[in-house]
Amino acid sequence: MNEYNNNLKWRYATKKFDSERQISRDDLEEVLEAIRLSASSYGLQPYHVFVITDKDLRKQLKPSSWGQSQITDASHLIVFANQVDFNSKLIDSYLHNVSETRNIPAKGLEGYGDFMKSKLLQLPKDTKAQWTAKQVYLAVGNLLSAAASLKIDSCPLEGFEPEAYNKLLNLDEKGLNASVVVALGYRAQEDETQHYKKVRAPKEELFTHI
- For residue 115, is it within any domain? no
Rounded to whole angstroms, the Cα distance separating 74 from 52 reads 10
- For residue 208, is it within any domain? no
Q: Where does the chain have alpha helices with state H?
A: 2-10, 25-36, 55-61, 70-73, 88-102, 110-120, 125-149, 162-168, 203-206
- For residue 40, is it within any domain? yes
- For residue 156, is it within any domain? yes
Full 3-state SS string of 145-179 = HHHHHCCCEEEEECCCCHHHHHHHCCCHHHCEEEE
- For residue 104, is it within any domain? no
- For residue 113, is it within any domain? no
- For residue 134, is it within any domain? yes
pLDDT (tens place) for every residue of the chain, 210 residues total:
699 999 999 999 999 999 999 999 999 999 999 999 999 999 999 999 999 999 999 999 999 999 999 999 999 999 999 999 999 999 999 999 999 999 999 999 999 999 999 999 999 999 999 999 999 999 999 999 999 999 999 999 999 999 999 999 999 999 999 999 999 999 999 999 999 999 999 999 999 999
In this prediction the pTM is 0.96
- For residue 102, is it within any domain? no
By residue range, what is the domain housing residue 146?
A: 2-85+128-188
Sheet holding 153-157, edge to edge: 47-52, 76-83, 176-185, 153-157
90, 88, 110, 89: which is closest to 99 by C-alpha?
110
Q: How many domains does the chain fold into?
A: 1
Phi, psi (degrees; rounded to nearest 5) at 77: -115, 125
CATH number (domain holding residue 147): 3.40.109.10
67 φψ region: left (φ > 0), alpha (ψ -120 to 50), beta (else):
left
